[in-house]
Structure 1
Amino acid sequence: MLPDLPLLLAFVGASLALALTPGPAVVYIIARTVAQGRASGLASVLGVALGNLANAAGAALGLAALFAVSSAAFTVVKWAGAAYLVWLGIRLWRTPAAVDASVPRPAAQPWRRIFRDGFVVALLNPKTTLFFAAFLPQFLDAHGSPLVQTLALGFVFCAIAGCTDLGYVLAASIVGPRLARAGRHAAWGNRIAGTSFIGLGVLTAFGHQPASR
C-alpha cells in the first residue's frame, strides 16, 4: 500500500512542505479562527480535510481507470507528473506570498456552515486535484494496485495537512491579529515547497526509469 521507507520519507517531506505553504484553505482556517475562536477553526479544519480527501479519492479513481486502459499510461503519467512538479516548483519560487498582509475577519457563522464552507474551499480548488494527479504517481509501484496505493498515499497526505492545519488553528487562537504581520515571511514557505517539488521532479526524471508493467 505504501512505498519503501526512503521513498515514503520523500513523500512525507514533500507533503509537509506543501501543507505548510499558505493557500486558500489556510487563509480560510486562519480567518475563521481569528474571527470566532478555536472551535470554529477546528470545524474549518475538518471540512478542509474531507475536501482534500475527496480530491485525493477522485484522483485515485481517475488514475486507476487510466492505468487499466493502457500499461504505457503509467510511464507517461509519471513523466508528465515530474515535469509538472518542476514547473510548479518554479512558479512557487517566482510567486509572492499567498497570504495577504491582512487576515480577513468574516461574519460569525454556525459551525455546520463553517464546516461546509471549508469542504467547498478545498474540494473546488482545481490545483489540488491536479497536484494529486501529478504527485501521487511518483510514489507508485507499477506492479501494485494503483487504486489502493493512491488512496493510501492520499490519506497520508490529508493526515499531514490536517496536522499542519491544526497547528495554524493553535497559532491563530494564541497570537490572533499578529498573524497579519507574518505575510512578508510567507514567501519563504513558497520557496521551500518549490525547492521540494523541483527536487522531486528531477529525481523522478533522472534518478531512475519509471517502472513498467
Structure 2
Amino acid sequence: MPDAQHLLLFIAAGWLLNLTPGPDVLYIVTNSLRAGARAGVVAGLGITAGCFVHVTAAAIGVSALLATSALAFGALKWAGAAYLAWVGIKLLRAKPQGTQDLAAVARTAARKTLGQVFVGGFWTNVLNPKVAIFFLAFVPQFITPGSGNEAVTFLLLGALFNANSIPVNAGWAIAAAWMARHGAVQRGMHWLDRAAGALFIAFGLRLALTDTPSR
C-alpha cells in the first residue's frame, strides 16, 4: 500500500473525480429529482457496484484486454452507447406530471422502482469501457512497482476509491432532492427530463465516437 501522503493524495483525487459531472452523476441527479433522495442514493450504490466490477476486472487483467483489443473495446463501447441512448430516449418520452401531489408520487415511485434504479445505475457504469480504462490508468500510479502484491493492492485501492465515492454520490442525491422541493423545479420537471434525456444521448454519442486506445 502507498504511504500516508500518497494515500491522502489518492483519496483527494478520487473525490475530485467523483465530483466531476458525467453519465453517473446525471443518472443520480435525474433519479433524485423524480423520486427523491432515496432513489438517488440507491442509484449511486448501483453505480458503485458497477465500479467494483471494473476494479476486479482490471486487477485480473480484463481491462488490459479492453485497452489493447479493438474488438473487445468496440463491443463494450457500442453496448454502453446504446444503453445511454436508450435511457435518454425514455426521459425524452416521459410524460409530464399532472396537478396531483408530486411528493406522494415520488414516494410511491421510489418504493416501486428502487431495484430498477439500482440495476440501471449498475449497467450505466459497467457498460462504459472508459471507466475500465480509467481504473487501469489511475490506480497503478499509486502502486509501488515490484512490491510483489500489486493485484491485492490494486483491489484495496479500488475498494477505497469506490467507498469514498459513496458520500459524494449521496451528496449529489441530497442536493438534487432538495432542489426538487421548490415549486419551480417541480413545475419544470418535464423540461428537466428532456434536458437530461438529451444529455444522456449526447454522452452515448460521445462514447460511440471514442477511439480505441492505442496499443
Q: How would you bin the TM-score normalised by the shorter chain?
A: 0.5 to 0.7
Specify the code of the residue in structure 1 equivalent to 2:171. Answer: G
* Coordinate RMSD, CA, aligned: 2.9
Q: Which residue does the alignment assign to 1:51? A: 50
- How far apart are the structure 1 equivalents of 2:119 and 2:163? 19
Give 1:64 shift: 11
Q: Which residue does the alignment assign to 1:198? A: none
- How far apart are the structure 1 equivalents of 2:31 and 2:62? 34
Q: Which residue does the alignment assign to 2:142? A: 139
Q: After TM superposition, list the pairs within 5 Å mapping 1:11-22 onto structure 2.
A: 11-22=10-21
State the secondary structure of the residue aligned to 2:61.
Answer: helix
Q: Which residue does the alignment assign to 1:148? A: 152
Contact 1:16 1:160 in 2 (8 A): yes
Q: Which residue does the alignment assign to 1:128? A: 131
- How far apart are the structure 2 equivalents of 1:38 and 1:16? 20
Q: Among all aligned residue pairs of Structure 1 and Structure 2, give the percentage whose two residues are the same amino acid.
A: 36
Q: Which runs of 4+ in 1 moved over 2 A?
A: 63-66, 103-109
Q: After TM superposition, list the pairs within 5 Å mapping 1:1-213 onto structure 2.
A: 2-62=1-61, 108=109, 110-142=113-145, 143-176=147-180, 177=185
Specify the code of the residue in structure 2 equivalent to 1:51. Answer: G
Q: How far does the alpha carbon of each residue in 1:4-33 deviate from its partner, in whole angstroms, 9 at most, with x for none?
A: 011111111111110100110110000001
- In structure 1, the gaps of 5 or more residues are 67-102, 184-213
Contact 2:44 2:169 in 1 (8 A): yes
Cα distance, 1:33–1:136 mapped onto 2, change above 3 Å? same
Contact 1:64 1:146 in 2 (8 A): no
Give 1:144 shift: 3.3
- How far apart are the structure 2 equivalents of 1:129 and 1:61? 12
- In structure 2, the gaps of 5 or more residues are 66-90, 96-108, 187-191, 196-215
Q: How far does the alpha carbon of each residue in 1:161-205 deviate from its partner, in whole angstroms, 9 at most, with x for none?
A: 111000001111112239x7xx9xxxxxxxxxxxxxxxxxxxxxx
What TM-score do you get using the length of structure 1 for normalisation?
0.61
- More displaced 10-residue stretch of structure 1: 19-28 or 169-178: 169-178
State the secondary structure of the residue aligned to 1:110.
Answer: helix
